[in-house]
Amino acid sequence: MAAVLPRGRSAVPRLALLGVLWGITFPVSRLGVAAGANPFLLVAVDFGIAAALTGSFAAARGGPRPAAASLAVSAGVGALLIAGINLPLFWGERFATGGAASVVYATSPLLSLGFAALAGERGRIGARGGFALGLGLAGVLVLALAAGGSTITNPWGLVAFGVGATCQGAGAVALVRLRPRGEGAWGATFQFVGGGIASLAVVAAIAPRLAFPWSTAVVGSVLYVGVVSMACGYAVFFDLLRTHGAVGANQVTYLNPIVALAVGVLAFAEPFAPEEGVGLALILAALLLLHLPGKRAPITAPPVRSDRATVERPGGTTFS
């Protein structure tokens, strides 16, 4: 099963960085939706920006390019992982605050744990790891109860966030299994391409109204999400998947509510209940417990394949 704390470089700095980048995304992404932009078109534009930036980086970096079959796999995983996370998020934010969305998405580590078990991965969850994950879930539940009422105007918003969290949990496990050494720049580019295609398909099928006002809120939302959250944030996330597995990488969703709620309260005057402070404290305690030094990790790590350059061969490809 994927590692929470495998031996090697610490995940804490990368988790903290990604927690800030993605935590800000929840209230900022809602700006574009609240300003009247079609949520699915908004996501498609974000994917296009991220694909252009990541593809430019891959081209400038040089080196061998994966075969077409490999890139097709990346596009398919992107449709599940990246589109599956973001399409429900943007649609659901019409009915709830970004802080409420971040709370639901914080169930991703536990969902990854379940999907990893269903996928047949073997491993042992120690008592400390199990207690810490349960403590984090308790914090999420407290936040969910505190985030009800005025912050959620339609229960379908919560359903959408649940779908997105499920896609994040399952997609991370699928990516680790299909890309044991992580997704390179070309693969990441085609993940965004796959996500963009999925977004446009949804627009064509169920949301043909292409509302996209060129307001400050919409443009600012697009630039932050496309450049910072997707192009930069997913590079960090893929690196965490490579070194710490699906459960470890998805721990970032425990940090997201802290940042999202803070930004929502300070920048957008969203309400903050005392119970939310209790939930945040539980989440912080869970993360601290997971990352305390010890003799062994709470969840044992699978063997990691060695990193080698991409080599195209008849009938198959190895990935960089």
**Per-domain residue ranges of the chain:** 12-301
pLDDT score for 214: 87
Percent of the chain topping pLDDT 90: 20
Who contacts 246 (Cβ-Cβ below 8 Å, separation ≥6)?
2, 112, 115, 116, 169, 172, 173, 175, 176
Q: What is the pLDDT of residues 167-185, one digit of tens each?
A: 988 888 888 887 766 678 8
pLDDT score for 2: 34
Helix, strand, coil % in the chain, rounded to nearest 5: 70, 5, 25
Is the distance from CB of 172 to CB of 107 less than 8 angstroms? no
Q: What is the pLDDT of residues 19-60, one digit of tens each?
A: 899 989 888 888 888 888 888 889 999 999 999 999 999 999
Place of tokens 């990893």: 116
More confident residue, 96 or 215: 215
Residues linked to residue 3 through DSSP beta bridges, in sequence order: none
Residue 114 scores a pLDDT above 70: yes
Q: How far apart are CA 104 and CA 100, in angstroms?
A: 7
Strand locations in the chain, DSSP E? 311-313, 316-318
Q: What is the pLDDT of residues 280-312, one digit of tens each?
A: 678 767 766 765 655 444 443 444 443 333 333
Where b means 16+ CB within 10 Å and e means fewer, 205-236 reads: eeeeeeebeeeebbeebbebbbebbbbbbbbb
Residues linked to residue 311 through DSSP beta bridges, in sequence order: 318
Per DSSP, the three-state class of 311 is: strand
Q: How far apart are CA 249 and CA 11, in angstroms?
A: 8
Q: What is the pLDDT of residues 243-265, one digit of tens each?
A: 888 877 887 877 787 788 788 77
What average pLDDT does the segment 131-156 reach? 67
Residue 132 scores a pLDDT above 50: yes
Residue 194 scores a pLDDT above 60: yes
CB atoms within 10 A of CB 308: 10
